[in-house]
Amino acid sequence: MFSGKLDGLETAEPRQEMGCGDAPDRLSRILVRWVLTPLAGLWCGFLLVTWLPTYLTWPWYTDSEHFAMLARLWDSGGLPYRDMFSTQFPGEIYLHWLLGKLLGWGNTVAYYAVDAALVIAFGALLVLWGRRRVGSALPGWIGFSTFLLYYVSQNYTVAGQRDWHAAFLVLFCLLLPGIGSAPAFRVFSAVAFGLALVVRPQVILLLPAVVLALDASTRAPGEPWRKTFSALFWWVVVVGVVAGLGFLPLVASGIGGDFLACLKALVQPPYNKVGPSELLIRLSPQKHPLVLVAVAALVGLLWDQTGGSDRRMGCTVLAAIVGVLFYPVISPFRHLYHVIPQVAVAALGVTYLVIQVYLAGTSRPG
């Protein structure tokens, strides 16, 4: 069905000569383009439109209210981390401050609208990422459906959390180089990772996957590594500048030391009680969402069937899965909302697996 290269990326093997197998192949293209893809898109749309009206009426969870109080305190002349204790990074404080100044303090609808916009944007990224590789939106819609089925079934104690916001930023950073290879895409990718670091430090676990994605978008197989090193150097510079600007308000307000003192309390008992036995328990497969474990197993089983750009894409996905497995492991407390980044990465893995099935179908003998 597809042959040669698509947008500079390896796709399927050259198709067979026209013959008796051409009619079934044409029928499969019609089914994918005009039946399966619209149905998958409509299904995701149905999940969104039946969830969003109620979602916008939810109250804040205590974590969101905590950030809103810190933002209001700062705006009224107080100082977070000094006048009010917090072990959280400042990214969500900035979000609540912006929403408070622009749309009014205590505006829960605005907060959940922003969160819903991130959910929709994540779906768009998956669709574009899959379409770039096989010319079809179907893999992305199926991957997005995987995430939606989890997210829209959660209550206000899990959805709308900073862990999802940080996960979105780092997945935006990871997917963008696969959507376009222009330098501007790498700049936006770096900006997203820098912002993610200001929200949640655990996103550093996905850095190896991001580096692999940058390498795949910068260097063709067999080309020298210096192209990747050069691109990665400037990417790290942009990340450092953005993250530094993110923490600059703390330094300018004279509360950088207070912030570090709060973080010291975060990593020490009695707040942090993680020991070797607890780490082993958290690494148990039973402690992770089944969809993530299943995706990891399937990617491993299909490893011998992939090569070239597919193998590089598989390395990126596997690195993201391994990194996100440790997300709740290194956290002082294990919360239910730590599953959100894991399901988001699982959605990426599902998209990748559907791409592999799609390519296998297009390269079968006629």
What's the confidence (pLDDT) of residue 73? 97
Higher-pLDDT residue of 22, 97: 97
Q: Which two tokens stand for residue 366?
A: 């006629």
E strand or H helix at 365: none
Q: Examine the pLDDT at 78 and tell me if it is beyond 50.
A: yes
Q: Examine the pLDDT at 4 and tell me if it is beyond 60.
A: no
Work out the average pLDDT over 302-315: 82
Work out the average pLDDT over 299-311: 80
Higher-pLDDT residue of 353, 284: 353
Q: Examine the pLDDT at 125 and tell me if it is beyond 80.
A: yes
Q: Examine the pLDDT at 15 and tell me if it is beyond 80.
A: no
Instruction: Tell me the domain boundaries of the chain.
Output: 20-362
Q: Examine the pLDDT at 325 and tell me if it is beyond 70.
A: yes
Work out the average pLDDT over 183-204: 96
What's the confidence (pLDDT) of residue 21? 54
Q: Examine the pLDDT at 155 and tell me if it is beyond 80.
A: yes
Q: Out of 232-236, 261-265, 270-274, give the one with best mean pLDDT.
A: 232-236
Work out the average pLDDT over 328-354: 93
Work out the average pLDDT over 10-30: 58
If pLDDT is split at 50, 70 and 90, which confidence band does 17 have? very low
Tens of pLDDT, residues 201-255 = 999 999 999 999 999 999 888 888 898 999 999 999 999 999 999 999 999 999 9
Rg (CA), the chain: 22
Residue bearing tokens 């709740």: 328
**Percent of the chain residues topping a pLDDT of 90:** 73
- Mean pLDDT for the chain? 90
If pLDDT is split at 50, 70 and 90, which confidence band does 364 have? low
- Residue 234 CA to residue 231 CA, distance in Å, equals 6
Asked if residue 171 lies in contact with residue 282, where contact means CB atoms within 8 angstroms, the answer is: no
Backbone torsions φ then ψ of 84, nearest 5 degrees: -145, 120
- Residue 254 CA to residue 248 CA, distance in Å, equals 10
Q: Examine the pLDDT at 297 and tell me if it is beyond 90.
A: yes
- Strand stretches in the chain, DSSP E: 5-6, 9-10
Q: Examine the pLDDT at 68 and tell me if it is beyond 60.
A: yes
Q: Out of 10-14, 237-241, 310-314, give the one with best mean pLDDT.
A: 237-241
What's the confidence (pLDDT) of residue 281? 84
Helix axes 162-179, 207-218, angle to 10 degrees: 20
98-112, 154-168, 242-256, 304-318: the lowest-pLDDT one: 304-318
Of residues 214, 217, 178, 206, the one with CA closest to residue 352: 178
